[in-house]
Amino acid sequence: MNFTLKIWRQKNQKDEGRFETYEVKNISPDASFLEMLDILNNQLVLENCDPVAFDHDCREGICGSCGMMINGRAHGKGRKQATCDVRMRSFTDGETITVEPWRANPFPVIKDLIVDRSAFDRIMQAGGFISVRTGSAPDANSIPVCKDNAEEAMDAAACIGCGACVAACPNSSAMLFVAAKVSQLALLPQGQPERKERVQRMITQMDKEGFGNCSNNYACEAECPKGISVMHIARLNREFLTAKLT
Amino acid sequence: MNKALDFYYSSIGKKVLMSVTGLFLIVFLTEHLIGNLLLFAGDEGKMYEAYGDFLVSNPVIRFIELFMFLGIFVHIIIGVILWFKNRKTRSVKYKLFRLKDNATLASRTTIISGLVIGIFLYIHLTTFFFPLRYSDEKSGAYELVVNAFSDFWYVIFYLAALFVIAYHLHHGFQSAFQTLGLRNKKYAPVLDIIAFFVWCLIPLGFAAIPIYFFFFHGSGATVIMWGF
């Protein structure tokens, strides 16, 4: 398959950045999107050009590194997939593909398609943890957890922090990310001691980082590679209100 | 006091204010519709006028009315503040951003539908509320309704405005519950049913009024006579 790629190139944070057009030929329909970018980069290196910088790690949809906007959609047009899960057969032969980095002020572009997502780390540092006694591991099943809660907490814990929710949101809101992290701990007994403190600190940090306000249009859930439900956002709101009012 | 300010400055705090005022206005809308159904009593507006007199003379209602105007004011101001704040979160825009693949038109355009409703509200108040409340000449409320809805273009404008209100409520009602944390997997389907009543039946109920008066009391009566 052959493609025309319009890729955002930006040398560093200070550079204004621009789109550049590249042609790639003879791409296998079974190649992943990242493999296609690898092929393009090989080509660029042979031409003595700077290869396109993009984040990637596991290439099996569980690390959350490889986020990019493909044809106006976070991680491409497919549902519940990270960019590494996107196969070239989902495009038509000869298609022009526009590739951009996540765009949100709290995610500044480091280079080309790589953005700095450390704002998420700072939100986690503000409260996305539990305090536990260090030492030997506790006995299994010493704390009973209701099956439904365990399931729900696991669903929330599936969040890989890729930032697609922010990228897909018209307001660059990080509510789905924060909701997943708060939900996961609020549903489990281990998360109870810091429950009220956690949600307030994480929301304060989220606002401080400059993420927008959620307007409930649920584009985040639609684009989340892990299918995190917006019901977790309702829980986050509930947790925040309960913490503030009681 | 500091706690209240902290709450207001948080992103969720402002949205909670939007939700609470929005739901309050929906309660008002429901009451307004039930009261207006008296127009259909078929008694040349006697009951409707009595209901109007009760609203004007009752001090409790007058007090609630103040809250209603405050609610409208807060809903508009915070809505606009949030919209401006949200626009500032993405300085470099996407070249291609297919939001419409992921979100409904109603959810993407609440600011526009809201502003249209604001304009409608101003016209609505100048047609009915201000003349009835503040003018020296007390023209009958029923007569005012009959006169206003005998104009074809005024009826069309009303119906269009009600369509926009339905659109606004379609997103707003469930959104308010989401923001207040009152949505979960168990109750979301029940809420969707109530939402249907709110966004569809309330505007339809209001729409029945101009249509009825246009065809049975206004110039539309001639249209009926022509065998339309």
Q: What is this model's ipTM?
A: 0.90
All residues of chain A having their beta carbon less than 8 Å from the beta carbon of residue B86 are 170-173, 212-213, 215
Asked if B88 and A234 come within 8 Å (Cβ–Cβ), the reply is no
- DSSP readout, chain A? --EEEEEEE-SSSSS--EEEEEEE-S--TTSBHHHHHHHHHHHHHHTT-PPPP---S-SSSSS-----EETTEET-SSSS--GGG-BGGGS-TT-EEEEE---BTTB-EEETTEE--HHHHHHHHHH-------SSPPPTTSS---HHHHHHHHHHHT-----HHHHH-TT---HHHHHHHHHHHHTSGGGSTTHHHHHHHHHHHHHHHT-----S--HHHHH-TT---THHHHHHHHHHHHHHH-
User: What pLDDT is recorded for position A172?
Assistant: 97
All residues of chain A having their beta carbon less than 8 Å from the beta carbon of residue B182 are 234, 238
Q: Does B10 touch chain A (CB under 8 A)?
A: yes
A99 and A69 Cβ atoms separated by less than 8 Å: yes
User: What pLDDT is recorded for position B218?
Assistant: 64
**Quick check: B21 pLDDT over 90?**
yes
Asked if B89 and A17 come within 8 Å (Cβ–Cβ), the reply is no
The CATH number for A207's domain is 1.10.1060.10
Q: Does B179 touch chain A (CB under 8 A)?
A: yes
User: What pLDDT is recorded for position A158?
Assistant: 97
Asked if A234 and B99 come within 8 Å (Cβ–Cβ), the reply is no
User: What pLDDT is recorded for position A148?
Assistant: 94
All residues of chain B having their beta carbon less than 8 Å from the beta carbon of residue A168 are 99, 102
Query: Per-residue pLDDT averaged across B188-217, rounded?
Result: 93
Which top CATH class is B2-86+101-225? mainly alpha
Same domain, A123 and A238: yes
All residues of chain A having their beta carbon less than 8 Å from the beta carbon of residue B12 are 203, 237, 240-241
Same domain, A103 and A121: no
Query: Per-residue pLDDT averaged across B139-152, rounded?
Result: 86
User: What pLDDT is recorded for position B87?
Assistant: 94
User: What pLDDT is recorded for position B212?
Assistant: 92
User: What pLDDT is recorded for position A84?
Assistant: 96
Q: Does B105 touch chain A (CB under 8 A)?
A: no
Same domain, A16 and A100: yes
Name which of A171, A222, A230 is nearest B86 (Cβ-Cβ).
Answer: A171
Same domain, A103 and A25: yes
**Domain boundary, last residue among A110, A132, A161:** A110
Minimum distance, in Å, between the CA of residue B190 and any CA atom of chain A: 15
All residues of chain B having their beta carbon less than 8 Å from the beta carbon of residue A203 are 10-12
Q: Which of B163, B159, B167, B170 is nearest to B194 (CA)?
A: B170
Same domain, A126 and A234: yes
Is residue B68 classed as helix, strand or coil in its secondary structure?
helix
Asked if B181 and A172 come within 8 Å (Cβ–Cβ), the reply is no
**Quick check: B224 pLDDT over 80?**
no
User: What pLDDT is recorded for position B210?
Assistant: 94
Residue with tokens 């944070």: A13
Q: Which of B77, B184, B81 is nearest to A212 (CA)?
A: B81
Name which of A71, A222, A244 is nearest B96 (Cβ-Cβ).
Answer: A71
- Domain chopping of chain B, boundaries: 2-86+101-225
pLDDT tens digit sequence for B56-87: 888 999 899 999 999 999 999 999 999 999 99
Same domain, A136 and A59: no
CA atoms of B167 and B203, how far apart (whole Å): 10
CA atoms of A112 and B39, how far apart (whole Å): 65
**Quick check: B1 pLDDT over 60?**
no
- Count of structural domains, chain A: 2
**Quick check: B179 pLDDT over 90?**
yes
All residues of chain B having their beta carbon less than 8 Å from the beta carbon of residue A170 are 86, 99, 103, 108
Which chain A residue lies closest to B110 (C-alpha atoms)? A215
Tell me which of A98, A123, A213 to substitute to probe the interface with B (most B C-beta atoms closer than 10 Å).
A213
Alpha carbon A114 to its chain centroid, in Å, reads 12
Q: What is the pLDDT along chain A (246 residues), one digit of tens a residue?
A: 999 999 999 999 999 999 999 999 999 999 999 999 999 999 999 999 999 999 999 999 999 999 999 999 999 999 999 999 999 999 999 999 999 999 999 999 999 999 999 999 999 999 999 988 788 887 888 889 999 999 999 999 999 999 999 999 999 999 999 999 999 999 999 999 999 999 999 999 999 999 999 999 999 999 999 999 999 999 999 999 999 988
Domain range for A23: 3-110
User: What pLDDT is recorded for position B137?
Assistant: 60
Q: Which of A10, A5, A12 is nearest to A41 (CA)?
A: A5
Asked if A105 and B98 come within 8 Å (Cβ–Cβ), the reply is no
Residue with tokens 């621009």: A18
Query: Per-residue pLDDT averaged across B43-67, rounded?
Result: 89
Minimum distance, in Å, between the CA of residue B115 and any CA atom of chain A: 16
Q: Does B226 touch chain A (CB under 8 A)?
A: no
User: What pLDDT is recorded for position B98?
Assistant: 96
